[in-house]
Amino acid sequence: MSIFERIETVDKRLKKANLNDFEDRIRKLILIEFAQRGKAPKIGEIAGMYGYPLEMVKEAVRKLEEADVLAVDEDEITFAYPFSASKTNHAVVFEDGRKVYALCATDALGIHFMLNEPILIVSECPYCRRKLEIKLEDGKIAFYEPDEIVKYVAIEKKCGCSAKALCPFINFFCSREHLEKWKKDNLEYAGGEVYSVEEAVKYGKSIFENLLR
């Protein structure tokens, strides 16, 4: 059984959170704005744009944070799965050139299925820093380069929310060989799981495809 079947991924957390219609609407608006702007909208902006009382929006965001669907620092959203407000190792570029950062390799792949838009993922091998590209289009892989890319999920003891506990350790590597070399230098993360790009796409899809439906 893959780690993605064992851990509570964001789609499962969302089901468990049992959001009301308003909370779910706020959640979706945050994701849509995040994708449009390439950065997190402010909570006050969401309230202003749609004419919702600020306190109601804040309360909804608090519930979403409790459910580990997003995180807030003061009034700033720092991440909302799959998007990160700060730079990560996984840039996602849309056809019109706008760019957003994904929390991890799985989330980057999931963005295509959540938005139904062609995306180019630009990532970096943690071992050699080589640029890695994966393009997704029409629900499929259009290409990836280099052709030996693998995805690695380091198993970490769970501590707090999963963006902190897991996401930084889900990465693409340029090859199996470089993954093995990286593991020798990072023994605390050596006990992980390796996936092909095709398998990784399958998990990205199953976690994120219904997040905006």
What is the binding site for Zn ion (CB under 5 A)? 125, 127-128, 130, 174, 178
Q: Min. distance of Cβ 112 from Zn ion in angstroms?
A: 24
Place of tokens 């309360």: 59
95 versus 177: smaller Cβ distance to Zn ion: 177
Q: Min. distance of Cβ 174 from Zn ion in angstroms?
A: 3
162 versus 171: smaller Cβ distance to Zn ion: 171
Other beta carbons within 10 angstroms of residue 44's beta carbon come to 12
Q: Min. distance of Cβ 79 from Zn ion in angstroms?
A: 26
d(C-alpha 201, C-alpha 145), whole Å: 15
Q: Min. distance of Cβ 123 from Zn ion in angstroms?
A: 11
Query: For the chain, where are the alpha helices, taking DSSP H only?
Result: 3-6, 10-17, 21-37, 43-50, 54-66, 105-115, 162-165, 176-185, 197-208
60 versus 125: smaller Cβ distance to Zn ion: 125
54 versus 128: smaller Cβ distance to Zn ion: 128
Identity of residue 177: E
